[in-house]
């Protein structure tokens, strides 16, 4: 930045010639894909993570994220376009800092923004004139303005003039073969018009389409609306699955027939619950925020209850099927097929399979699992390793439960060899579904 340039003009110029340095705080499922798109756009990137293992692996050219090839990481490191560090004192170096840290829920389903606050405090210690800070972590409306802005302005720097602050929600869909960080439209909201302008200019080379909105609160609410929409509709179709079961109707037949309507209907499918870091969590951010304003989000809370109860519903179905064979759950061998939260990925965050396994073990079942993407489970009391999917393995099980419908699994083999199958995902071949 020259003496005559304003911080706004300086950042816009650095966007134009790609001389801006990006800093990405959090190198997980959101942060690392963003790193690679920024590198492809010609920016140099400095990554920050608290995990020494992650940082050392990336600097050695090893990716820990399935969607990102190690070869791409290694090339970026070799070219001097990317390096990673655990040293948060280096946050003074980047011109742009994007925060992509976890925002989990507490035990009481309240937002846990401690990682965001910790990152903000680290940035505050090194904040300099001319830096842009972008929060990407999903959170409740008001987080950027109410929590981050006061902390950063306590340095004496003024937002929109000395430094810039924006919110741009991540929209990563792990394992999606069509949509990635680059071609998924990116929503951006700034604290001020200058904040919005510099954020759009800096992201533009790396993202195909940017969607500006009027405020950080609007941008924060966009992501929550997207996943609340899905949560509510999944809750509806999960309840419809229970209704159909009680009526003796095939829910999948009903859904497929309804899908033939060319307008007014969008297909959602039932399952054992919802998983991942978005759908099970994001609606609770909004519900919590509205409780502080004395408003109860009834749709959101009801959908959350239905979705959370689905593992218990399916475990009850497993018990019923075993009972039909004259067997109790206690002592029965149950093979769970798929433990990732959705098909063809290795992500087990909030996976309903974990609840299914815990509930079965609590009832005394002997549980094993097969998942071609998840070699070991060591999560919240569940400690298991995947077993091979063979005719012998299937025949040894008293019941096989399809929880995640990975496309690489031979469901024909499952249908032929398993004694009893409970199919939560409609994965079995059509001519064998009568067994589920």
In this predicted model, what pLDDT tens digit does every residue of 59-68 receive, in sequence order? 999 999 988 9
| Helix%, strand%, coil% for the chain, nearest 5 | 45, 15, 45
Q: pLDDT per residue over 127-151, tens digit each?
A: 999 999 999 999 999 999 999 999 9
Coil, strand or helix: which one is 60?
A: coil
Q: What is the 3-state secondary structure (H, E, C) of 226-249?
A: HHHHHHHHHHHHHHHHHHHHHHCC
Model confidence at 283, pLDDT cuts 50, 70, 90, reads: confident
Q: What is the mean pLDDT of the chain?
A: 94
Kindly state the average pLDDT of the residues 314-333: 96
pLDDT tops 80 at residue 278: no
pLDDT at 380: 74
Q: So what's the pLDDT on residue 432?
A: 64
Give the pLDDT mean for 382-396: 95
The residue annotated as part of the active site, out of 195, 244, 278, 399, is 278
Q: Over 70: is that where the pLDDT of 4 sits?
A: no
Per-residue b/e over 201-221, b at no fewer than 16 CB within 10 Å? bbbebbbeebebbebbbebbb
What integer pLDDT is reported at residue 435 of this predicted model?
46
In DSSP notation, 320-368 reads: HHHHHTT--STT-EEEEE--SSSTT----TT-HHHHHHHHHHHTT-EEE
The residues near 324 (Cβ < 8 Å, ≥ 6 apart) are 420
Q: Are 30 and 170 in contact (CB under 8 A)?
A: yes
103's tokens? 């925002």
User: Does position 373 have pLDDT exceeding 70, yes or no?
Assistant: yes
Domains parsed from the chain with CATH numbers: 7-214 (3.40.50.720), 229-435 (3.40.50.720)
Beta bridge partners of 318: none
Q: Is 278 one of the annotated active-site residues of the chain?
A: yes
| pLDDT score recorded for residue 285 | 84
Question: Which of 172, 180, 181, 289 is CA-nearest to residue 226?
Answer: 172
H-assigned helices in 51-192: 52-59, 70-78, 114-126, 143, 149-153
Average pLDDT over residues 158-169: 98
Question: pLDDT band for position 169 (50/70/90)?
Answer: very high
The whole-number pLDDT of residue 3 equals 58
């Amino acid at each position: 930045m020259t003496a005559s340039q304003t911080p706004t003009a300086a950042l816009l110029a650095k966007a134009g010639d790609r001389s801006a340095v990006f800093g990405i705080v959090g190198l997980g499922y959101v942060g690392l894909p963003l790193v690679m798109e920024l590198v492809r756009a010609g920016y140099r990137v400095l990554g920050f993570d608290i995990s020494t293992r992650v940082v050392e692996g990336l600097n050695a050219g090893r990716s820990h994220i399935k969607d990102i090839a190690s070869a791409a990481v290694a090339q970026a490191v070799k070219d001097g376009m990317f390096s990673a560090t655990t040293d948060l004192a280096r946050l003074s170096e980047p011109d742009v800092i994007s925060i992509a840290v976890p925002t989990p829920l507490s035990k009481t389903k309240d937002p846990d923004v401690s990682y965001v606050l910790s990152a903000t405090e680290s940035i505050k210690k090194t904040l300099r004139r001319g830096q842009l800070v972008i929060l990407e972590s999903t959170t409740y409306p008001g987080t950027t303005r109410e929590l981050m802005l006061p902390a950063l302005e306590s340095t004496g720097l003024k937002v929109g003039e000395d430094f810039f602050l924006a919110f741009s929600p991540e929209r990563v869909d792990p394992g999606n073969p069509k949509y990635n960080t680059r071609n998924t439209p990116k929503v951006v909201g700034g604290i001020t018009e200058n904040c919005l302008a510099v954020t759009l200019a800096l992201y533009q080379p790396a993202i195909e389409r940017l969607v500006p909105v009027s405020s950080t609160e609007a941008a924060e609410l966009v992501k929550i609306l997207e996943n609340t929409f899905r949560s509510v509709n999944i809750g509806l179709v999960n309840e419809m699955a229970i209704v159909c079961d009680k009526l003796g109707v095939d829910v999948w037949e009903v859904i497929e027939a309804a899908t033939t309507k060319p307008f007014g209907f969008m297909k959602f499918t039932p399952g054992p619950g919802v998983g991942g870091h978005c759908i099970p969590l994001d609606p609770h951010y909004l519900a919590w925020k509205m409780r502080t304003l004395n408003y109860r989000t009834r749709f959101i809370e009801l959908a959350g209850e239905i979705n959370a109860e689905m593992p218990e519903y399916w475990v009850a179905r497993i018990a019923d099927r075993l009972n039909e064979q004259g067997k109790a759950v206690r002592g029965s061998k149950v093979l769970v097929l798929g433990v990732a939260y959705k098909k063809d990925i290795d992500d087990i965050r909030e996976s309903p399979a974990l609840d299914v396994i815990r509930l079965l073990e609590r009832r005394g079942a002997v549980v094993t699992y097969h998942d071609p993407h998840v070699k070991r489970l060591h999560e919240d009391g569940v400690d298991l390793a995947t077993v091979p999917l063979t005719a012998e393995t299937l025949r040894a099980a008293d019941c096989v439960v399809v929880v995640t419908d990975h496309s690489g699994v031979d469901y024909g083999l499952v249908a032929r060899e398993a004694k009893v199958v409970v199919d939560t995902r409609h994965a079995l071949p059509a001519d064998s579904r009568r067994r589920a």
